[in-house]
Amino acid sequence: MGRLVVVSNRVSLPTDKGAKAGGLAVALEDAMIPGSLWFGWSGRRGGANSDRASVSEHQGITYATVDLGETDYRRFYVGFSNGALWPLLHYRTGLIDYRRDDYEGYVAVNDLFAARLAPLLQPDDVIWIHDYQLLTLAEALRRLGVKNRIGLFLHIPFVPPAVLHVLPEAEHLVRAMAAADLVGFQTHGDRLNFLESAASCMEMQRVGEDGFVHNGHRTMTTVTPVGIDVEGFARAARRAAGMTETRRLISSLVGRALAIGVDRLDYTKGLPLRFAAFGRLFLRHPEHLRRISLLQIAARSREDVDRYQSLRRELDRQAGEINGAYSDFDWTPVRYMTRAVNRTTIAGFYRIASIGLVTPLRDGMNLVAKEYIAAQDPADPGVLVLSRFAGAAEDLTEALIVNPYDADQVADAMHTALLMPPEERVARHAALLAKIRERTAASFCRAFLDQLRQVER
């Protein structure tokens, strides 16, 4: 069996001081066994593009990284990946900032990755490419003569043809994705959107329900939802319940309920609508005044993009407005922080929260929903309020499913959660916990890689 070669936009080297495991690192922890190779961008920019990969080893895993020049970084990452692809694939076409030279920079960096990765490959390596920044990489590797099995997994949503074709390069992107042997998605809807988009972009012959052949190359698709290490996160939550930070939070609540939201500061997360819904809770159900606080942790991200700065200002304004309208000398309705908080501390906060608010406008999966479930005390669990537009909602049907655009519906769901009888909370949580135990981070890796190794070529 050949090595696993993981390729992602960013590689966070474990030897870097202060480095913390990102979501992808956590998801792939079980797959990255000694002998594996992880390839991607180093995070360094400003000089010239690397003429070869920088290779290091840590605990038996090889890490190979490349640096990017400032212009390529701006076009590839800030420009096309996050200015065009990110809003497009989250159905926010009005926010697309498209420039043709950004797309050329995107393709150029994918080509650079291919050129620096190819010399490191062995004939029986299995290549697993991750996410929207690298949609043309499989095609670039094929042009260089790479014949290895290639899998591509998209962690964010995929849109139907009517939305996809807003992008001038939609056809090229889909053709490039089809150079992989297996393309994976978080939900059945995302896979269907890709298959319909492929049919709209190229001549192809369908292979069953899940694949097609184009120009003699067979491309199969799969749905393998990303999960978490449920037992590990539950242990962390139990430990964190006794930590200083958690005890301080409990003390500050003075017996009041806590609703919690944990998100990156991103317009896809629906945070202004979430704040509006929390304010509506007090208008529609004034009996909850002074009885609940919202803790919203929204770690800053992509601060070099104007719309993210604008979002932060809007949330600052909303938090101030709600607190100005409702707070008392000993109670603040909204506690809003934009600094990062470590996962163990967050696990403890989840455990004491009566409501977990996961209300994105669109999300590939959203692991916060699964972490909140895992962190709960099964004997006295909180209630998950979950957007119907999160990939997690396809499976986690025992949550209170809401439309995040309807602030009154979200407010009413919070009201329902606060009044829910203990036996119903326990039953809903038990069903949700059983589901996330079925689809863990380890099972995600196994399911995708097993299928990739078995794809008929």
Bridge partners for 400 per DSSP? 385
Instruction: Let me know if 90 is a catalytic residue.
Output: no
Out of 190, 363, 395, 412, pick the active-site residue.
Answer: 363
pLDDT of residue 21: 53
- In the chain the domains, ranked by start, together with CATH numbers, are 4-227+441-454 (3.40.50.2000), 230-438 (3.40.50.2000)
Bridge partners for 184 per DSSP? 153, 222
Distance CA 95, CA 105 (A): 20
pLDDT tens per residue, the chain (457 residues)? 689 999 999 997 886 654 445 567 777 777 888 999 999 999 999 777 878 999 999 999 999 999 999 999 999 999 999 999 999 999 999 999 999 999 999 999 999 999 999 999 999 999 999 999 999 999 999 999 999 999 999 999 999 999 999 999 999 999 999 999 999 999 999 999 999 999 999 999 999 999 999 999 999 999 999 999 999 999 999 999 999 999 999 999 999 999 999 999 999 999 999 999 999 999 999 999 999 999 999 998 766 667 788 899 999 999 999 999 999 999 999 999 999 999 999 999 999 999 999 999 999 999 999 999 999 999 999 999 999 999 999 999 999 999 999 999 999 999 999 999 999 999 999 999 999 999 999 999 999 999 999 998 8
Distance CA 206, CA 273 (A): 41
Distance CA 414, CA 259 (A): 9
> How far separated are the first and last CA of the chain, in Å rounded?
17
3-state SS record for the chain:
CCCEEEEEEECCCCCCCCCCCCHHHHHCCCCCCCCCEEEEEEEEECCCCCCCCEEEEECCEEEEEEEECHHHHHHHHHHHHHHHHHHHHCCCHHHCCCCHHHHHHHHHHHHHHHHHHHHHCCCCCEEEEECHHHCCHHHHHHHCCCCCEEEEECCCCCCCHHHHCCCCCHHHHHHHHCCCCEEEECCHHHHHHHHHHHHHHCCCEEECCCEEEECCEEEEEEECCCCCCHHHHHHHHHHHCCCHHHHHHHHHHCCCEEEEEEEECCHHHCHHHHHHHHHHHHHHCHHHCCCEEEEEEEECCCCCCHHHHHHHHHHHHHHHHHHHHHCECCECCEEEECCCCCHHHHHHHHHHCCEEEECCCCECCCHHHHHHHHHCCCCCCCEEEEECCEHHHHCCCCCEEECCCCHHHHHHHHHHHHHCCHHHHHHHHHHHHHHHHHCCHHHHHHHHHHHHHHCCC
Task: Evaluate if pTM is beyond 0.75.
Answer: yes
Q: Counting every residue, how long is the chain? A: 457
Out of 90, 130, 155, 288, pick the active-site residue.
Answer: 155
Instruction: Let me know if 172 is a catalytic residue.
Output: no
